[in-house]
Structure 1
């Protein structure tokens, strides 16, 4: 199984990365990245709304030399916060670079198709998406981003972008797992040479207890998490599982020494029920009064709780 994906602009991207959502404390960030780099992780996923870009940047400044690595040896992904859609996008992008203390980001994504504070049906969301992408294209041309992409976009959002953009998105990051097999979205991405990267590959922990997954884990002498992650990567779908547990960090990436049979991949896919464990971007196109994006509400609640 290939451990890297060639994006549509020729950039090589690891198919396996470490997610960092909700990892904010500097000591925890440092320890987690230290463990990950030692094991062999070379791709790290962050975002402005995670409030850990600065901690990640500081940790990498110390840790890369420790392992004989340089900036070009790792792949860093970050994302534009929903509040920064529009004219604020360029400034926000530059702020992420400053927080990470690096000259360029390997992959930069629009995190959410709507602007924070706007109702889901507000037509201004479309204008903000366009403005944000234009700002990102400018920074891409200036060498600040090696590749551009989007997160939580639907087929409609993607088609809208493809119809108007100068630089095509290279990556779509969405919720994707056996309970949410977005076949049409995957086919659309494949047709348009957009790499699909999954988050919540383990179904926020729910899928590891599925009887079928447990059965296959015993068959392959692997853990349920490894079965789930291999199910994605073997189909060419990138993954970015998050953990601060040393054993799980090591376990998660140890999936390149076995292959699931075609029948087993099909059986895992049959678990599909359309279940989402995270926010639903479909709401951006629905006409419901007073409907704010679930992403915005959940993120707002999270940061109110965390301070």
Structure 2
């Protein structure tokens, strides 16, 4: 079997900043959101994911956590800048919202819904407390495709009008390959991000991830642990955890990252934040020092996620 990557080109053993392979996920944090976002940034996360969807996210509290972190001096006393971190949010359609608590009026036209949602996100995630004049978003995702392809393309075209000034890049979540291909073909601003569940029910998005690699689209995974208890028990994950002296969750993250995947990580434990970031580095260092055994483990892991 020929591997999709050679050991020398593997994401895990590259010189990439490994903390950027994690995105801190802020769903379901409720009144702990501000403190946890600040804590994640203090512990080394440099990317944050949220959504303009009060049903599951407290976007305003995410912004407060970011501003609290920015207001402090960094290591060595340097000033922290908004450009030091990556912040992405989402436009969520009425179908995904709590109709009694949402950032726009669902009776308004689609364009008004999107522009109101983006305006609220720019305000919520502003880097300075007293002004949103310089606020921008590194990426805005459609939280899901709209009911029809035409509506999805229409929503995408509306978001394109913000690029590159207020929004740097666009993406989509919970998407299938045909819908992603339709956006790719119809758009002026091409998709930069796909965020999907990484689990057996979608056969791990093999063809979709291949398309993302071909088109230079970053694939982000969620449910990476929750959706894969069998992978946590798999031989390569157990072997890497033991060999590199890291936890099984971190070992699974390492294999997933090696597939060019950025992983959402929503841990609420400061210890786990540090352990995950440090563990990825330990696993990378072990892989560099043990290339042939790492290659064996990686091939076995790839076999574990092949479609049945």
Q: Same fold (TM over 0.5)?
A: yes
Counterpart-to-counterpart distance in 2, 1:202 and 1:98: 32
Deviation at 1:169, TM superposition (A): 0.5
Output one character per residue of 1:121-176: Cα deviation in whole Å (capped at 9) or x when no partner.
xxxx22221121011100114x1111111111111001111121111011111112
Retained in 2: the 8 A contact 1:173–1:199?
yes
Question: Which one of the candidate residues 28, 34, 37 is aligned to 1:30?
Answer: 34
Q: Structure 1 residues 215, 249: CA separation in 2 closer, same or farther (over 3 Å shift)? A: same
Task: Kindly report which structure 2 residues correspond to 1:41-56, keeping only aligned pairs within 5 A, or say none.
Answer: 41-49=45-53, 50-56=56-62
- 2:193 paired residue among 151, 171, 183: 171
Aligned to 1:272: 305
Which 5+ residue runs of structure 2 have no aligned equivalent?
A: 1-13, 75-79, 95-105, 128-134, 288-293
CA distance in 2, matches of 1:181, 1:258: 23
The corresponding residue for 1:74 is: 85
The alignment's TM-score, normalised by the length of structure 2, stands at 0.75
Larger radius of gyration: 2
Q: 1:262 to 1:183 in 2, by over 3 A?
A: farther
1:104 aligns with 2:136: yes
When normalised by structure 1's length, the TM-score is 0.76
Instruction: Kindly state the Cα deviation for residue 94 of structure 1 after the two structures are TM-superposed.
Output: 1.6
Partners in 2 of 1:78 and 1:140 — Cα distance? 14
Q: Deviations over 1:174-206 (max 9, x none)?
A: 112578432211111111121111112213573
Q: Deviations over 1:237-260 (max 9, x none)?
A: 111111111111222222023235
Whole-Å separation in 2 of the counterparts to 1:219 and 1:41: 25
Q: CA deviation at 1:30?
A: 2.8
Q: What corresponds to 1:157 in structure 2?
A: 179
Alpha-carbon distance between aligned partners in 2 of 1:223 and 1:197, rounded to the nearest angstrom: 21
Cα deviations by residue, 1:203-239 (Å, 9 ceiling, x for unpaired): 3573574142334311221111111111122222111
1:1-307 correspondence runs (5 A): 1-3=14-16, 14-25=20-31, 28-49=32-53, 50-68=56-74, 69-83=80-94, 86-87=110-111, 88-102=113-127, 103-115=135-147, 125-141=148-164, 143-176=165-198, 180-204=203-227, 206-207=229-230, 209-212=232-235, 213-254=237-278, 255-259=280-284, 260=287, 261-272=294-305
Name which of structure 1's ranges 260-269 and 240-249 shifts more when overlaid on structure 2.
Answer: 260-269
Say if 1:177 and 1:30 are closer, same or farther in 2 by CA, change over 3 A: same
Work out whether residues 110 and 150 of structure 1, in 8 Å CA contact, stay in contact via their aligned partners in 2.
yes
Q: Check the 8 A contact 1:208/1:214 in 2, yes or no.
A: no
Cα distance in 2, alignment partners of residues 59 and 93 from structure 1: 19
| C-alpha distance in 2 between matches for 1:178 and 1:198 | 13
Find the residue that maps to 1:174 and give its secondary structure: strand
**Count of residue pairs the alignment pairs up:** 256
Shift of 1:93: 1.5
Q: 1:82 to 1:274 in 2, by over 3 A?
A: farther
More deviation, 240-249/206-215: 206-215
- Cα distance in 2 for partners of 1:209, 1:190 equals 25
Measure the CA separation in 2 of the matches of 1:222 and 1:136.
41
Contact 2:89/2:140 (<8 A) preserved: yes
